[in-house]
Structure 1
């Protein structure tokens, strides 16, 4: 039996005093009765809802089957079984609120969560907390009035990225971090740039370039200025004391290389120094070897530059007829061949006067044994008959042939 009351255009069901246009009171609002209480709205399939016309706004139906009809016209939103109301144009789903703690959901537009100064914290003790996007751009923004800060913590190690109002941008590791590793896990380069120009690069091969993006060696520096290396050792300069170690050098393509320290130079000398040399005769018909000057010098593989020094002081010991103004010459010979190194002097008067001969030269000799000596001859007789000897008595003599090892 249904009790109803009509009062001032208000209808009450199971309610003699309706509080609204339609006020339905459950017949059994408490207890354990198995009787059904509630409001049963019309149940139709999608085709029937789609076929309706002149539908009043706010009409409520329950679509119990979507196998019929199509997602078109007024049924364009009917894609699932459920309650729908008519909004004047389309049947609109009555959306059951989604609890994000136990259900997935889809935003139909931009949303803003205002925390009113309260800290919003995501805590997960077992798995990751992720922010995922499949759109063109995925963005995470931390925008503060004094600092934007991103802090990652693993155990007791910290990673911080921040930028503050003073223009300082920093990336730091702290805590018990044992390494701050920056790089790639695939075959790609790592570059640092300033003013939108790459200044430093590490290729996937491990080659490092400064001032160049295509380093050809483990470290290549390009200063951009000809004859300027771009490298400076601030605390090492030309005034630094020399110590042990090897010398740095540069090869033909600019590689910095080590140069072996030179072995201390040693001197090989063939020499004659005498104040009691044997007397000898000099004439104009042949070159006479000065006694004691013939020396054999052994040159090592590769050849050597021979430094030669000769000094001879003599007394003219005889007085040939017509002598007193003749010319005498001392010349260097190598392997019996006269060289272009010589000294020529003129007598200062009749026999008995002294003379000095002196010359220095450098001659390159190939590897092997070589004979070096000095020979004298009279180059201009000036009244002395050809073939007549002039006795030469050595006062002093020094003859040195030296090379550096």
Structure 2
């Protein structure tokens, strides 16, 4: 029997002088060359090599490269070929995985309408904070089994951050790649560098990269707080009437840091609280909210003590005293636009008009049809049904300056009018606009040597019982001051080459 077995081995094996072994070949091409019965042909059921087969990999290997076959999943290892790499048993690619000995798998969680990553790589259950879920609505949770309903991506952690893509932005309109335009809302971290945009977080707003504000977290501080210059708006209050307002207090020595609100203080039923914000570098203002139902009425004062509790980043003390003035109402507004066709008071032309908030007066710049744009005049209209006398003062500014004033200027009812730059301490009756004349309020023509003038006007009713004062600022520009205003230069009744600015401050005192 031994003789027969030996002859069989000799028949199947061939050993060269270099200790190469061949099975089913007389010409081995390597240290061990095992060939199928049908070499390079179709495999048969008996072809192959069997390495040691085991049912557990709990014991460490002894030599790097040691190869075994695990016959079934065991202890976190998957059925298949494994080799000892000197530290752990490592699966061969394709033998139960791609090099990761895990039991990871996406699992349907039907009751919670989501799919989730199952067990950890060692086969044990996932611990809180290691979850990875995808809801049926597309929302994804990382580190949480229940992503917030307002988010499509909820990343939860208490010891790690989120790293967005890091890029180099060379200019504010840079496209990240040539094939796809930047999507509006795209978020990146720019690493900066010489000649590039400053480092920091940026987002694409549809036309350019905008930097998310970057402010140091150093503590805020100021050197002085001028409580004596505090101003309250509205400036007065009434006992028993709910009040809501603001106090502005100037400071110096600000260091540009953000700050939070301080403690509140209540006096006379009014509660003062610092509003959070960002300090200026140097001088600026702190803003305090004031709310409540006062127990006193102006001009009885209210004094708020200010200290490091009310302003946490200031170590000094002072008092803010308010309420000692009666109410003053300031209404400021402005308009900006081109001259448009009009025929008020019987004369056709082009104008832009502004009306005081109380509706009592209107002011316009007007140029008759066929006149040069530089010839525009200002005119004022008393919108009541009877004449009104005003006290008026006006100035025009260019490379020089000029002015005019009236101690008593009488305005006709509901008619565009002007004083034609007449100054007098006695009564002056304004000239009303007709179909043929062209009066001006102040100096005629709003251009000087082809350049626009600035106009400033102040007026109030002559009536001593009237408590309202008006301040007007004006300027007009034209791309062709010497051009003529007509249907050609103002097609459709709009003189597109002109731009008129009016601003009125209406101050009502007690």
Q: TM-score under structure 1 normalisation? A: 0.31
Give TM-score, length-normalised by structure 2: 0.26
Name the larger-Rg structure.
Answer: 1
